Amino acid sequence: MCGRIAQYRGIHDFVAVLSMPNALVNSASDQPLERYNVAPTTRVALLHLQGDLLHADLVHWGWRPHWAKDRAAPVNARVEKVAHGPFFRQIWPHRAITPIDGWFEWVDEGGPKKQPYFIRRKDGAPCLCASIGQLPDADEGHGEHDGFVIITADAQGGMVDIHDRRPVVLSPELAREWLDPATPKERAEQMALNQGEPDEAFEWYRVNKDVGNSKNQGNRLIARIEGTCPGGTK
């Protein structure tokens, strides 16, 4: 996963897919987010539970522990290592869902510039991405070191032709379990490792190269352009 997403629906649309009975505390926006080209290090709408309340906050995309000052803050965490490596130990228990409409990857097809692709669910539903982070506190608000990462796994099937990694996308049922603080860490690890949505749940297609500049926005960036895609999709 290269690190560029689309998040254009509204928070209430994302929450409706989760079908959670919890009261919502929404500090993000009540309007459609309308962000078609979201880059790392910006604030991204994130869902997390605190007590009985579901919180929607804008959180910095990227995080690193205080002792790792000599490296850039990663925006993704590999599912194979995230539960046991020292780097993410502090935030592994703090689970969240990053609800997105899709994500972008770039493929070298022999031209002067790589060709961008947009990847989304075939059924049109949002992608509920397993995430962890140092999250805003309900009482104290946003902290200086808040941030999050999206958990990624090996791509499978035809998606390998687009990129070798992809976010771990959970079904609504599993996303609810992921968010629940009562879910044991061992269970969360197995969900992330083995129960992400399969390759067959997604489609991908070529889009305009203007998406390469993160300042560009608008739904034209996710519009399909002509061509046969790697992996056999159209």
Cα distance between residue 80 and residue 155, in whole Å = 13
Is 175 a residue whose pLDDT tops 50? yes
pLDDT tens-digit series, residues 105-149: 999 998 899 999 999 999 999 999 999 999 998 777 787 889 999
121 and 128 in contact (C-beta within 8 Å)?
no
56 and 25 in contact (C-beta within 8 Å)?
yes
pLDDT band of 49, cuts 50, 70, 90 = very high
Calculate what percentage of the chain has a pLDDT beyond 90: 82
Q: Which domains does the chain have, with CATH numbers?
A: 5-232 (3.90.1680.10)
Cα distance between residue 234 and residue 225, in whole Å = 10
- Distance of CA 81 to CAs 3, 130, 138, 159, Å? 19, 14, 29, 22
Is 231 a residue whose pLDDT tops 60? no
Active-site position among 105, 127, 203, 229: 105
Position 232 scores a pLDDT of: 45
Position 110 scores a pLDDT of: 87
Q: Which of 47, 48, 37 is nearest to 3 (CA)?
A: 37
User: What is the pTM for the complete model shown?
Assistant: 0.94
The reply to whether 105 belongs to the active site is yes
Position 1 scores a pLDDT of: 65
Position 228 scores a pLDDT of: 57
The mean pLDDT of 67-73, rounded to a whole number, is 88
pLDDT tens-digit series, residues 183-194: 999 999 999 999
Q: And the tokens for 21?
A: 């009975």
The reply to whether 203 belongs to the active site is no
Position 129 scores a pLDDT of: 98
Position 234 scores a pLDDT of: 46
Mean pLDDT score across all residues of the chain? 93
The mean pLDDT of 168-180, rounded to a whole number, is 98
- Give the per-residue SS3 of the chain: CCCCEEECCCHHHHHHHHCCCCCEEECCCCCCCCEEEECCCCEEEEEEEECCEEEEEEEEECCCCCCCCCCCCCCEEECCCCCCCCCCCCCCCCEEEEEECEEEEEECCCCCCCEEEEEEECCCCCEEEEEEEECCECCCECCCCCEEEEEEEECCHHHHHCCCEEECEECHHHHHHHHCCCCCHHHHHHHHHHCCCCHHHEEEEECCHHHHCCCCCCHHHHCCCCCCCHHHCC
